């Protein structure tokens, strides 16, 4: 009886140890990649992939599959020079109002009836990460 118990214990321990080592590693790895984006940018990433990649591209370079149709091209969010001219409020406005609302191409849709204001702010955070710019009020607004 003792032998059976100790064998069972060993088997259980083996199962437990094999379970606990693997997933832990994966968990910490995915956490490390995710933590490069802050909370709002991660929320924005989800929305961006859903609504914006078709035109702006998954990497934000303005090369989504719909982009070849458009003139002017969708904005390239990796363009540091361009993005650093805009405040967060201005980017918010562009997404909320669309091109028509900011005197740009009407091919940039208005999202105000689709995406809630607080979610538009998430999108602004996410767009910022492509260009590594931030909301610097000292920069001139276009
Ligand atoms: C149907 C294609 C299309 C979709 C979908 C689209 N955009 Fe655009 N977007 C454009 C085009 C085209 C422009 C360029 C407008 C111009 O420069 O006149 C643009 C420009 C922009 C700009 C810069 C405006 C400026 O001031 O120069 C922002 C910011 C932007 N889009 C954000 C978004 C976000 C966020 C989404 C998703 C919620 C999105 N876009 C979805 C086509 C699109």
Q: What is the pLDDT of residues 1-58, one digit of tens each?
A: 676 667 666 666 655 555 554 554 444 444 444 457 899 999 999 999 999 999 999 9
Banded model confidence at residue 136, pLDDT cuts 50, 70, 90: low
Which of 4-8, 30-34, 66-70, 133-137 is predicted least confidently?
30-34
Which atom of ligand 1 has the smallest separation from the CA of 124?
35
Is the C-beta atom of 82 inside 6 A of ligand 1? no
Spacing, Cα 56 to ligand 1 middle (Å): 7
Is the C-beta atom of 102 inside 6 A of ligand 1? yes
Spacing, Cα 133 to ligand 1 middle (Å): 17
The 8-class DSSP code of residue 49 comes to H
Mean pLDDT of the chain: 82
Between CA 55 and CA 1 the distance in angstroms is 69
Is the C-beta atom of 112 inside 6 A of ligand 1? no
pLDDT higher at 130 or 8: 130
- 124 closest CA partner among 99, 80, 101, 90: 90
Give domain limits for the chain.
1-36, 39-142
Minimal-distance CA residue to ligand 1 atom 21: 75
The 8-class DSSP code of residue 35 comes to T
Architecture of the domain spanning 39-142: Orthogonal Bundle (1.10)
Spacing, Cα 108 to ligand 1 middle (Å): 4
pLDDT at 138 over 80: no
Spacing, Cα 141 to ligand 1 middle (Å): 18
Spacing, Cα 34 to ligand 1 middle (Å): 25
pLDDT for res 122: 97
pLDDT for res 53: 97
Between CA 80 and CA 92 the distance in angstroms is 17
pLDDT at 142 over 50: no
pLDDT for res 140: 30
Q: Whole-prediction pTM value?
A: 0.78
pLDDT at 141 over 70: no
């Amino acid at each position: 009886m003792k032998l059976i118990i100790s064998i069972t214990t060993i088997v259980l321990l083996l199962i437990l140890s094999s379970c606990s080592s693997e997933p832990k590693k994966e968990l910490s790895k995915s956490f490390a990649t995710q933590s490069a984006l802050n909370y709002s940018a991660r929320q924005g990433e989800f929305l961006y992939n859903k609504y914006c990649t078709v035109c702006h591209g998954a990497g934000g370079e303005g090369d989504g599959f719909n982009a070849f149709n458009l003139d002017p091209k969708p904005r390239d969010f990796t363009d540091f020079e361009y993005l650093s001219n805009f405040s967060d409020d201005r980017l918010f406005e562009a997404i909320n109002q669309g091109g028509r609302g900011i005197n740009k191409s009407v091919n940039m849709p208005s999202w105000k009836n689709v995406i809630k204001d607080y979610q538009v702010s998430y999108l602004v955070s996410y767009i910022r990460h492509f260009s590594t710019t931030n909301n610097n009020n000292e920069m001139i607004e276009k």
